[in-house]
Amino acid sequence: MRKNIVAGNWKMNTTLEEGVELANNVNALLKERKPNCDVVVCVPFTHLTSVNAVLEPELVGLGAENCSEHVKGAYTGEVSASMVKSTGAKYVILGHSERRQYFGENNEQLLAKTQLALENGLTPIFCVGEVLEERENGSYNDVVQGQVEALFSLSPEDFSKIVIAYEPVWAIGTGKTATAEQAQDMHAHIRKVVESKYGKEIADNTSILYGGSCKPSNAKELFAKPDVDGGLIGGAALDAESFMGIVDAFN
Ligand code: PEP
């Protein structure tokens, strides 16, 4: 069956020193408990190697927040999937709405990134989600369906390795969470879309995380929904205690 996962997305926060301290705190708090989910922290590229050195891999997985759509070469400032992999990372967030919105990432690039991540043995946490206007004009199911279908040239074997994160853009960093019902409806829709292409077994085994102002006070209600398999956590992942409060929602 699919895994429950709570993944932190640190975004462009923390100096190296602060990031290592946060990772140490997360690791220490995880040592004290038996979480009923996999725990992942996705950190800035500059922090990957140092954070990897302080995390115990059986307690918490490490991830990056992006990778290049190119294999290697003359792409100044870019970081490839193989570079990410070489730090000890196991996951990579792809298609975050901030990347789509501020850096113009499109479906074609995201497919290329996903393929390279998979070729390098990384698990993509592939983000989808509608903006406020699309929620309000009722096109949100179609928008998210299109974002998921952008990966439909992947083989079933490859697609089965992906984690999906549904993150309504209007809920990210706004304090405005989707209701548990809204999250459940969209997660069920995504699972149906996956099933239509890859069949029931792969759909049932795909972890679909919710992201968007998830915090200890609302995580339990969200995670109790049958198609919500955990969370991708931004702001609340920057404090080890509150991140752990979300992990504990699975207990
Ligand atoms: C995110 O950026 O992935 C996110 C969900 O952010 P926040 O939890 O801060 O809304």
Of 76 and 173, the one with more pLDDT: 76
Nearest atom in ligand 1 to 93's CA:
3
Residue type, 108: E
Q: Which domain holds residue 244?
A: 5-250
pLDDT of 1 strictly over 90 = no
**Helices marked H in 41-170:** 48-54, 81-86, 97-102, 107-119, 132-136, 140-149, 156-159
Question: What pLDDT is stored for residue 176 in this prediction?
Answer: 86
Of 96, 98, 134, 187, the active-site residue reads 96
Percent of all residues in the chain with a pLDDT value above 70, rounded to a whole number = 100
Question: What pLDDT is stored for residue 44 in this prediction?
Answer: 98
User: β-pairing, 208-211 with 230-233?
Assistant: parallel
User: β-pairing, 163-166 with 91-94?
Assistant: unpaired
Question: What pLDDT is stored for residue 83 in this prediction?
Answer: 98
- Number of domains the chain contains: 1
Q: What are 109-157's pLDDT values in tens digits?
A: 999 999 999 999 999 999 999 999 999 999 999 999 999 999 999 999 9
Residue type, 62: L
Q: How confident is the model at residue 175 (pLDDT cuts 50, 70, 90)?
A: confident
Q: Would residue 96 show up in a list of annotated catalytic residues for this protein?
A: yes
Helix, strand, coil abundance in the chain, percent, nearest 5: 50, 15, 35
What's the whole-number average pLDDT of the chain?
97
Q: Which CATH number do you get for residue 88? A: 3.20.20.70
Q: What are 233-248's pLDDT values in tens digits?
A: 999 999 999 999 999 9
Of 251 and 126, the one with more pLDDT: 126
Does ligand 1 lie within 6 Å of residue 8's CB atom? no
pLDDT of 19 strictly over 90 = yes
Give the Å distance between the CA of 232 and the centre of ligand 1. Answer: 7
pLDDT of 191 strictly over 90 = yes
Nearest CA to ligand 1 atom 8: 234
